[in-house]
Structure 1
Amino acid sequence: MAEANVEVEGINYHTEYSLPDSQDKSAPCVLLVHALMSNLHMWDSTVKALHAAGYSTLRYDHVGHHNTPPPPQSKTTERRMSVSGQLAYHMDDLTRHMHQLVKERTGQTQVAAVIGCSIGGVLALRYGMMFPDHVDQIISIAAPGIKATEDKKPLWSQRIKQFEEDEKNGTDTLCRATVERWFPGGLEDDDVRAEALKHVKTCSLEGYKLLADTIRNYDYTEELHTFPNEGCLIIGGTADGAISIDALEFITSYIQGSKLVKMEGVGHLPPMEKPKQFEEIMLGFLER
């Protein structure tokens, strides 16, 4: 495993690039994009499965998450500003950053796949639209939809307020509530919840605000037609209250040759909740 920081537009991204078990330096690379408030360790089991299957992997921490700090104020003057006056990144910005990280860490522009969960699921889809010639396959997990829905936008403001109160009072109410939402029930291993709680506690308030601003301000409905005609897998858990299976069916219907897999009784983070089942689905798709 080779860790390195890569600066892109004022963000000093923490990345991990790892070769497969065979140590083949020419192995195809899979880019992994974690959920909001999680970190790159949500992919620990996934990475082991990919390495055993002969893939190299590249993963990173989102801005203000875990080992990627929020951008310093001196770096923010060139960024567009949100209505609230705070620094803001659009989903397209983050997608370009992903592509830059691939180039910087692998020395190439091509990846075998982009796999993302939650906000990462949206970013994976957008990567397929923006860089169709540079990615072979897309796996989008638990994407909240192809556009930000109005009914969910107030929730982010409420959660930011709770995060601010937790910061002030030294509590972890939002962290625990987030983990409960991710794994709503039926989880066989309590250690998974404990591990996820460790992940969310590495997210900074500023990082949370930045990505919350991002995830409630995008709409790619009119651009779905630009997606490549094959090589896309959509995954959703039927117990995931953060997504709409109908929305995922809509996305699937617009991408020719795509496939939707519904994981019964699974919540928002299938790669952590049901790793063996997810990895079987993932590898079955990548190696078809």
Structure 2
Amino acid sequence: MDMAQLGDLHLHYRIDGPADGAPVVFANSLGTDLRLWDPILPHLPQGLRILRFDKRGHGLSDCPAGPYSMGALVRDAERVMEQTGFSDAIFVGLSIGGMIAQGLAAKRPDLVRAAVLSNTGAKIGTREMWGERIAAVEAGGLGAVVDATMQRWFSAPFHDTPAFPGWRNMFLRTPATGWTGCAAAIAGTDFYSATAGLRLPVLGIAGTEDGSTPVDLVRETTDLVPGSRFEIIRGAGHLPCVEAPEAYARILTDFLKAQGHV
């Protein structure tokens, strides 16, 4: 178990792969921890050096009082990369992780050489929508929103698989303060101008059954960056790395190869 000490905040992280491997960083979604990426790892090329971390309020990381800002989440990722020696990396972010990817790519081009914006947007939802969800969780815990979230996250067939209860439990066991803190960060973020100013290789990934960040939102965000690529995974929802890990890994591997990163 590795913990990065960022002032008074401790973030849990994990590194896999050889010390001299090509660096890839993964940032997970709201209500999940770094295990989100477990399904795709066996399908990625050998020799990558992979950094995953639990953002504040999630997994084994500290859960400070909220609300959080997107700037703080970006800074957390920045400092974890600095402490672990990751630079010139390809940064893969899903949902809020994709927002962190956008913010970090704009702030620290020395750390991020290319970005994968998976199931995300430059702006996701509205302040009012997130305010309602935050109020529901503050009143009734994550159980108040879990069923609606699972409907948005996963395709109907996946709900009947043996894997589904584990992801539902992961969501429910996220600290409510961590969830609402990060939800507030999403509510306050609009990266349209910042992302439109990016000049680095970008890949967008969307799932046809995603009820949280629909295909058109991901495509619109990806298209902000000149020369970007966009891929759709059919039949998958908000977490295609879980529902379609082989397809996801194949798309990601092709992008890594195109950047000379394999």
Q: TM-score higher than 0.5 here?
A: yes
Summarize the Cα distance change of 1:275–1:13 in structure 2 as closer, same or farther, 3 Å threshold.
same
Name the counterpart of 2:155. Answer: 184
How far apart are 1:224 and its partner, in Å? 2.6
Letter in 2 for 1:279: A
Once the two structures are superposed, residues 3-23 of structure 1 have per-residue CA deviations (whole angstroms, 9 ceiling, x without a partner) of 31112253211111122xxxx
Name the counterpart of 1:140. Answer: 117
Name the counterpart of 1:158. Answer: 132
In structure 1, what is the Cα distance between the partners aligned to 2:161 and 2:88? 34
In structure 2, what is the Cα distance between the partners aligned to 1:142 and 1:249? 9
Q: Confirm or deny that 1:95 pairs with 2:74.
A: yes
Summarize the Cα distance change of 1:189–1:278 in structure 2 as closer, same or farther, 3 Å threshold.
farther
Aligned length: 258
Q: Confirm or deny that 1:263 pairs with 2:233.
A: yes
How far apart are 1:252 and its partner, in Å? 2.7
Name the counterpart of 1:116. Answer: 93
In structure 2, what is the Cα distance between the partners aligned to 1:49 and 1:95? 28
Judge conservation of contact 2:28–2:54 (CA < 8 Å) in 1: yes
Residue 6 of structure 1: which of 4, 8, 15 is its match? 4
Residue 206 of structure 1: which of 146, 169, 177 is its match? 177
In structure 2, what is the Cα distance between the partners aligned to 1:9 and 1:67? 17
In structure 1, what is the Cα distance between the partners aligned to 2:57 and 2:223? 35
In structure 2, what is the Cα distance between the partners aligned to 1:238 and 1:132? 31
Letter in 2 for 1:258: S
Residue 191 of structure 1: SS of its match in structure 2? coil
Residue 35 of structure 2: which of 38, 41, 57 is its match? 41
How far apart are 1:188 and its partner, in Å? 8.0
Structure 2, unpaired ranges of 5+: none
Once the two structures are superposed, residues 210-230 of structure 1 have per-residue CA deviations (whole angstroms, 9 ceiling, x without a partner) of 1011000011222234312x4
Name the counterpart of 1:232. Answer: 202
Residue 157 of structure 2: SS of its match in structure 1? coil
Q: Confirm or deny that 1:57 pairs with 2:31.
A: no
Judge conservation of contact 2:23–2:86 (CA < 8 Å) in 1: no
Q: Confirm or deny that 1:125 pairs with 2:99.
A: no
Once the two structures are superposed, residues 165-199 of structure 1 have per-residue CA deviations (whole angstroms, 9 ceiling, x without a partner) of 444xxx83433432232103232861231221232
TM-score using structure 1 length = 0.82
How far apart are 1:62 and its partner, in Å? 1.7
How far apart are 1:133 and its partner, in Å? 2.5
In structure 2, what is the Cα distance between the partners aligned to 1:44 and 1:111? 23
Letter in 2 for 1:123: I
Name the counterpart of 2:256. Answer: 286
RMSD: 2.1
Q: Confirm or deny that 1:215 pairs with 2:186.
A: yes
Letter in 2 for 1:42: L
Once the two structures are superposed, residues 56-82 of structure 1 have per-residue CA deviations (whole angstroms, 9 ceiling, x without a partner) of 1111112111211212x6xxxxxxxxx
Residue 67 of structure 2: SS of its match in structure 1? coil
Letter in 2 for 1:254: L
Q: Confirm or deny that 1:27 pairs with 2:21.
A: yes
Residue 186 of structure 1: SS of its match in structure 2? helix
TM-score using structure 2 length = 0.89
Once the two structures are superposed, residues 106-159 of structure 1 have per-residue CA deviations (whole angstroms, 9 ceiling, x without a partner) of xx241431111111111112222111222222111110x212443xx3333333
Judge conservation of contact 2:204–2:222 (CA < 8 Å) in 1: yes
1:243-258 superposed matches below 5 A:
243-258=213-228
In structure 1, what is the Cα distance between the partners aligned to 2:58 and 2:183? 12
Summarize the Cα distance change of 1:244–1:197 in structure 2 as closer, same or farther, 3 Å threshold.
closer
